[in-house]
Amino acid sequence: MSHDHADMSSTENTTGDAAGMTMMTFHTGTGDALWWSGFTPTSLGAYAGALVLLIALGILHRAMAAFGAWTEARARLRLNGYANEVRDALVAREGLGTAVSTDKEAMVQQRPLASRDAIRIATGKYPAWRWSVDVSRGLLQVLSAGLAYLLMLAVMTGNMGFFLAVLAGIFIGEVAFGRFRFSEAGEMC
CA 17, 22, 23, 25 dihedral sign is negative
Residue-range domain boundaries for the chain = 54-181
Query: Structure pTM?
Result: 0.63
By the 8 A CB rule, do 141 and 68 touch? yes
pLDDT score recorded for residue 28: 86
Burial grade of 72 (CB within 10 A; 0-12, 13-18, 19 or more)? middle
90, pLDDT greater than 70: no
Between these two residues, 55 and 18, which has the higher pLDDT value?
55
pLDDT score recorded for residue 81: 64
**48-52, 65-69, 81-85, 151-155: which range is least confident on average?**
81-85
CA 43 – CA 6 distance, rounded (Å):
41
pLDDT average, residue stretch 16-38? 75
Between these two residues, 81 and 11, which has the higher pLDDT value?
81
CA dihedral 10, 11, 15, 18 (to 10 degrees): 60
SS3 content of the chain, % helix, strand, coil (to 5): 70, 0, 30
Looking at every residue in the chain, the average pLDDT score rounds to 75
pLDDT in tens, 115-160: 555 555 555 556 677 787 789 889 999 999 999 999 999 999 999 9
